[in-house]
Amino acid sequence: MSAVPAVAASAVPPPVRPEDRAGDHLTVVVRQAGSGRDGTYELSCHPAGGSHPDAAEACRVLDEHTRWGKDLFAPVAPGTTCTMLYGGPATARVTGTWAGRRVAAGYDRSNGCEIGRWDGLVPLLPRLGSLAA
């Protein structure tokens, strides 16, 4: 029988608590995304509200993808191999607090990794059209 060292057990982070979620508020600034998509939007969750065009769904998707110990808004890791696919000039900046953590993240569609990162946050970020001409 093997024992788990006490150090390993204490290194596991606690679950997200409801009080960690009370301050969930993000500001989203979208530029060059096209007609009706550019702008600055406020999003509050728990309960959903703000000026975001689809606050309830954006909060639901963010909640669904939030994992303790994983940064939902992390940049693409250095050295990652990405497809050379240009998704257009759209940019976004997300700032605020999510799950008790400060958020300051930038987004663009400069390659396949960045497009995937953007698309993973739809509808927080606007859904953009197909890349096919």
Give the chain's domains with CATH numbers: 22-67+83-126 (3.30.350.10)
pLDDT at position 68, please?
Answer: 79
Query: Can you say whether the dihedral through the CA atoms of 109, 113, 119, 121 is positive or negative?
Result: negative
82 with 76: CB under 8 angstroms?
Answer: yes
pLDDT at position 10, please?
Answer: 43
pTM above 0.85, yes or no: no
Distance, in Å, from the CA atom of 28 to the CA atom of 123, rounded to the nearest integer, reads 11
pLDDT at position 67, please?
Answer: 87
